Structure 1
Amino acid sequence: MNLINKKVTHKLFGIGSIVKYNDSSIEIHFASENKKFVFPDVFGKHLKLHDKSVAHSLEKIIEKKEMEHNEEERKKEEEKKLQRKNQELRWGLEKLMKNHKLHSESQMVFWCDTEEQNSSFLEWKVFSGVIKSGNNKGKPTKPIRLHQNSAVLLTAIDSSMPEKDRRILGVYMVNEDFIGKLCEDGYIPAHSKYRLQLTEQESDQMPFWKYYVNERSSQKMTWNTGKYRYFDNLWMAQILLDIAELKSDPKERELAQQFFEHFCKMNLITAEELPKPNGALMRM
């Protein structure tokens, strides 16, 4: 479509002819001077083409541009709605975090089966399981005690070995914005930085029951049912400290030490006052 030299009529400036135009502006020569306008917006309200065929083609262009503009505005509005929704969610999370009271047993120890011993470290997340009975039967279990101060301890035991030989495979801090009571899918993801996997040799030196004890039966070491248990914040700190001292690789040792310090800060634990491990194995 060529608009050069096409006759037009403007409401204020009268009859003129198009001198030049591009995607955003148009210049028209009137009787006494040239005028520039926004193209194609000026047509319709202020400017009319004399050539009806060209005017019809231009209407199609204007309609298309209006549709594109409306779509762009719709997307902007959707983006604003999404931003408002995310902001409200952030405010809600901040309120939850601000009002959160530390539970003395807000750490999780997880029993990894053979498959999970690999997948837990590939995906750096575990699944809390499903509810076994009641109205919510079959729905994922919410790890309600877990918060941003929580860590997940990964453990395993060979089926032929006694429970006292359960060993620690690794540990991770929960994801930075994880809140257990808001967890709908049952998956507990790891922190982007604070995550540690032990070698087989290191794992052999980290027996779980060195730290964990059932206070009701302090010398009894049993894990009858369930994929996980909650346990004491101090016990997790003891484990992290021992892992830091166990690591021989300088980078891994530094990360483990940073993990320990971060954990103590999040759980209001004074590292210098941390008691020695006194789990069931230590009481035999």
Structure 2
Amino acid sequence: MNLINKKVTHKRFGMGSIVKHTESSIEINFASENKLFVFPDVFGKHLKLHDQSTAIILEGIIQKKENERKVEELQKEEERQLQRRKQELRLEHEKLMKHYKLHPESQMVYWCDTVEKNSSFSEGRVFSGVVKSGNDKGKPNKPIRLHQNSAVLLTEKNSSVPGEERRILGVYMVNEDFIGKLCEDGYIPAHSKYKLQLTEQESYALPSWDNYVNEKSSKKTSWNTGKYRYFNNSWMAQILLDIVSLKSDPKERALAQQFLKHFCKMNKIIVQELPNATKLKIDF
């Protein structure tokens, strides 16, 4: 659109003629001097174009710019809201991390199917399953007891054998900043360092997981449905201690000891008070 020499009237400077314009600016010659304005913002409230046909075209340009401005402002507002929400989540996360009260049964034993038996280690996570009934039916389960002090015990069991014959495949601490209450997708990620996989020989040599039932509870551990169960913190510490005793490779044994030390620190457990702890030469 050519605006050169087009006549205009400015509310303050009076009549003038356009001598130059670009996509973002326009220069107008008035009686006494030239003035530079922002294009097309100056039109409408401050500047009127005399040529009606050109004015109609210009109005379309102005409307397009206004629509683009509104879209841009909407995007900026959505981004501001997103940043505010992220900040709220960060503060909520920090608060939960700082003031979390340890649950005495904040460990998880997880039932791996055939696919999960391998993927849980290769992908470094497991899925908590979905809600079976109620208003949240079909949504991922929230592992609400899990926190940075929690470990996930990975097990498998043939459906034809009783629960006490469940075999332990490995174990991992949850990711450093994981909070079950805030988990929306149902995935429980593994810690960057503390994760142990058992060989088949070690798995069969490890005492049955059912032997670790809390002595204060008279209920027999059972497992009929669902992907996981929560269990006692001290029970998990004892299992980790047994894993240390099984590891013969120096590097794996060292990692298992570091895992146990970290776990006990996070759960305020004294290693030396665990059954059979004194039989192992562990530097704590």
Whether TM-score is above 0.5 comes out as: yes
DSSP-derived class of the 1:215 partner: coil
2: CA distance, partners of 1:50 / 1:58 = 12
2:143 pairs with 1:167: no
Q: Percent identity?
A: 66
Task: Kindly report the root-mean-square deviation, in angstroms, between the aligned alpha carbons of the 2 structures.
Answer: 3.7
> Which residue pairs with 2:126 in the alignment?
125
Cα distance, 1:150 vs structure 2: 1.1
Q: Secondary structure at the match of 2:114?
A: coil
SS in 2 for 1:41: coil
Deviation at 1:183, TM superposition (A): 5.0
Rate the CA distance shift 1:36–1:211 in 2: closer, same or farther, 3 A. farther
Letter in 1 for 2:46: H
Q: 2:104 corresponds to which letter in structure 1?
A: S
Distance 1:210 1:129 in 2: 25
Deviations 1:188-207 (A, max 9, x none): 41135144433434434434
Amino acid corresponding to residue 127 of structure 1 in structure 2:
S
Q: Please name the residue that 2:280 is paired with.
A: none
The range that moved more, 234-243 or 96-105, is 234-243
Larger mean CA deviation between 153-162 and 41-50 belongs to 153-162
1:9/1:112 CA distance change after superposition, 3 Å? same
Q: Which amino acid is 1:21 matched to?
A: H
Rounded to whole Å, the distance in 2 between the matches of 1:46 and 1:135 is 58
Q: Aligned with 1:16: secondary structure?
A: strand
Calculate the TM-score normalised by the size of structure 2: 0.75
Corresponding residue for 1:54? 54
Distance 1:41 1:244 in 2: 73
Cα drift, residue 66 of structure 1 = 0.5
Contact 1:167-1:207 within 8 A present in 2 as well: no
Q: How many residues align?
A: 273
- CA deviation after TM superposition for structure 1 residue 51, in Å: 1.9
Structure 1 counterpart SS, 2:212:
coil
2:229 match: secondary structure: strand
8 Å CA contact retained: 1:209, 1:221: no
Are 2:156 and 2:168, in contact at CA under 8 Å, matched by a contact in 1? yes
Gaps of 5+ in 2: 278-284
Give CA-to-partner distance per residue, 1:210-260, whole Å, 9 cap, x none. Answer: 972352689x9864534433222233234445556727485x667656544
Cα-to-partner distance string for 1:111-138 (whole Å, 9 max, x where unaligned): 2233432343455113256458x89888
Partner of 2:209: 209
- Give the TM-score of the pair, scaled to structure 1: 0.75
Distance apart, 1:19 and its partner CA: 2.6
- CA deviations on 1:69-108 (whole Å, 9 max, x unpaired) are 1111122222223333343344444444444211222111
Which sits farther off after the overlay, 24-33 or 209-218? Answer: 209-218
Contact persistence 2:213–2:235 (CA under 8 A): no
CA distance in 2, matches of 1:135, 1:14: 68
Q: Indicate if the aligned counterparts of 1:235 and 1:277 stay in contact, CA closer than 8 A.
A: no
Rate the CA distance shift 1:277–1:207 in 2: closer, same or farther, 3 A: same
- 1:29–1:249 distance in 2 versus 1, CA, 3 Å: farther
**Shift of residue 139 of structure 1?**
7.3
